[in-house]
Structure 1
Amino acid sequence: MRIKELSDRTGVAARLLRYYEEQGLLSPQRRDNGYRDYDESMVARVAQIRSLLDSGLTTEIIRAVLPCLAEAANSEYPAPDFVSRVRVERDRMAERVAVLSKNLRAIDDYLDAVAGK
């Protein structure tokens, strides 16, 4: 499929898909005319990239994680440096969740206070 179809199917702008390619997150085939050609598996891959980005991971970490996700999940002996790196990112995400939760409670308290007036 061409980039427009992938964009339509995933809801991700074509310019972002090209950016993901520049970052090494997507590797489309090229047709003789130079057009990108994405196979069906790229729909799920884009969804996975979006999910990882939404969770706060950087494209650098995602580039390292993507090829390893399936292998690491099925491996009895994942590489210690990879596990350590993912743990650091997980801890960073947990800190963000804590801050967001605190801000949510503050907004709820504010709304409760103004609703009572």
Structure 2
Amino acid sequence: MEQQLLDVAWLDAREAVTLAELAQICALSMDELDELMDYGALAPLEEVRQERLFSAECVMPLRTAGKLRRDFDLDLFTVGLLLGYLNRIEALERQVRSLQAHLPGNKSAERR
């Protein structure tokens, strides 16, 4: 049996990635990412030496949206809408976890 090698890197959400890195990580072309920026679904943090930098926080939703695009043959405009919803879902999940941590009788809050 042939062993598969995985290319794994720990990505801190506070870090920044270039457009080329984002394209490689998310399996989308740079043209597709440019189109998502045109739709307003993806925004660079800043431009350093004519290279756009993006928050690493956008990697997971973008990978998910790209996978759904391939699975369901979605156009990029739909991917842009989907990306907005995935980001909103993530923000709401963080808010729910934060609120749950403050509830009386919460086992995870009592362990602290």
Q: TM-score, normalised by structure 1?
A: 0.46
Question: Greater Rg, structure 1 or structure 2?
Answer: 1
Question: Using CA pairs below 8 Å that are at least 6 residues apart, which structure has the higher relative contact order?
Answer: 2
Q: Higher strand share goes to which structure?
A: 2
Q: Higher helix share goes to which structure?
A: 1
Q: TM-score, normalised by structure 2?
A: 0.48
